[in-house]
Amino acid sequence: MESKKKAVEEKTKNREEKVKIVQWEDFQQELARLSSLSSALSEANQKKSLIQEKLNSHLQLEAESLSRSNKLDEMRENLEARKLVMGNMSMRSKVVQEKAKKQEEQLNSEIRSLLMAGTSLSVASRSLQEANNSLAGERGYGHLRNLQKLLRMRQQFMVSQISLLYPVKVVTGLTCEQELESFSGSSKSGNPSGLKPLDAGSLTISGLQLTVLPFKKLSFFTDKKEVQRSATALGYVAHAVSLIAFYLEIPLRYPLRLGGSRTYICDYAPSVESTSSDFTSISLPSSSSKPMEFPLFLEGQDTTRSAYAVFLLNKDLEQLLNFIGVESLGPRHVLANLKELLNNILSQEYINS
C-alpha cells in the first residue's frame, strides 16, 4: 500500500513540474509564440508532406528507371543474339549464293551441252532420214537384197558344180565298212575304237569310202590300195572344202595345201614342244608365225598326225556350217558334214535367208 501511495505522489509531482505557470502579462506573448510555433509546425508538416510526395515520386521514378534499365539490358541481349543470328544467316546466305552461282554455271554448261547435243541430234536425224530415203529408193535396201540374192544364186550354182564334181552319196547294204571320223583312243573324243557303225549305209565321195583307220600302225597285212583310196577321198573332201570356202569368201581357220592324195592341212597353234611359259599369253596367229602342217594321209608309221589332220578338216567343215547357220553333226562325221553343207547351200532357204 505504501508503495502505491509513493507512486501516486511521484506522478502528481511530475505533473506539477510539467505544468508551466505563465503570468498574465506574458500570456499574450506566449499565445503569439504558440500560434507562430503552430503555424511553423503546420508549415513544417506541409513541407514534410511535400518532401514525402517528392521522395515517393523520386522513388517511383527510380523504380521505373531501374525497370526500364533492366528492359534495356534485356533488349540489348536480344539485340546481340539477333546480331549473331543475322551474322550466321548472312554467312549461310553467302554460302548459298556461292552454291547457287556454281549450280547456275553448271546448268549453263549443261544447257549449252544440251543445245549442242540437240543440234547434233537434229543433224543425225536429218542424216538418218536421208539414209532411210536412200534405202527406200531404187538403189536402197531392196536393191541390196536383190544383189545378195543374185550373189547367193551364183554361189549356189558354183557349189552345185562342186557337188557334181565330188558327189557325196549313201551306199546302202555295206555294214562292214566304216567312215574315217575320229581320233584314236588317246584323242579328245573319248571313243577308244574311234569308229562309228553306219546303220543306214555308208557315205562315199566320188565312189570312194573312208575305210582305212589312221589310228593303227601299218603292218605287213595292211591293204595299201585301201590306204590310197582313203587318202584320195580325203583329198577330194579337202578340195571341195577349199572351193566352197573360196566361193563363200570365208577364210578357213585351218588352211589347206592341196595336193590330191597328198594334201596337208595347216595349224597355227603353238608347237607341242613349247614350254608352259609360252601359253601364258594367247594371241592370234600372225602372218610371220610358221604354221605346222599335218598330212591327210598315212605318212610312215606315225598315225597321230594324220588323225589330227582329219580332226582339223572336220573343224573347217564345222566353220562353214556355222557360217550358213547350221549346226555341225559332230567331230566324227566328215562326209556327213560335207553332205549337210552341200544340201543346205543348194536349198531354197539359203537364197531367201
Select from 212, 264, 268 the least CA-distant residue to 242. 264
Domain definitions of the chain by residue range? 37-136, 142-170+201-269+290-351
Select from 233, 251, 257 the least CA-distant residue to 316. 251
**170 touches 200 (CB < 8 A):** yes
Residue 145 is predicted with a pLDDT of 81
Residue 130 is predicted with a pLDDT of 84
Residue pLDDT tens, the chain, 353 long: 667 666 767 766 666 555 566 667 777 787 888 888 888 888 888 888 889 888 888 899 889 989 998 999 999 999 999 999 999 999 999 999 999 999 999 999 999 999 999 999 999 999 998 887 777 766 667 777 888 889 989 989 999 999 999 998 887 654 433 444 333 333 333 333 333 434 334 888 888 887 645 445 555 445 677 778 888 889 999 999 999 999 999 999 999 999 988 999 998 875 544 333 333 333 344 445 678 888 888 876 667 888 888 899 999 999 999 999 888 888 778 899 999 999 999 998 888 87
**291 touches 267 (CB < 8 A):** yes
Residue 285, judged by CB atoms within 10 A of its CB (0-12, 13-18, 19+), counts as middle
Full-prediction pTM beyond 0.85? no
DSSP state of 333: -
Fold category of 142-170+201-269+290-351 in CATH: Actin-binding Protein, T-fimbrin; domain 1 (1.10.418)
CB atoms within 10 A of CB 173: 7
Residue 29 is predicted with a pLDDT of 80
Residue 221 is predicted with a pLDDT of 47
DSSP state of 176: S
Phi and psi torsions of 13, nearest 5°? -65, -40
Residue 182 is predicted with a pLDDT of 36
Residue 180 is predicted with a pLDDT of 41
> How many Å apart are CA 143 and CA 228, to the nearest integer?
50
Residue 222 is predicted with a pLDDT of 56
Question: CB neighbours of 175 closer than 8 A, spacing ≥ 6?
Answer: 197, 198
Which cell goes with 200? Answer: 543306214
**163 touches 342 (CB < 8 A):** yes
**294 touches 312 (CB < 8 A):** yes
Place of cell 565330188: 166
DSSP alpha helix (H) spans, the chain: 2-18, 27-136, 141-165, 224-247, 304-323, 334-345, 348-352
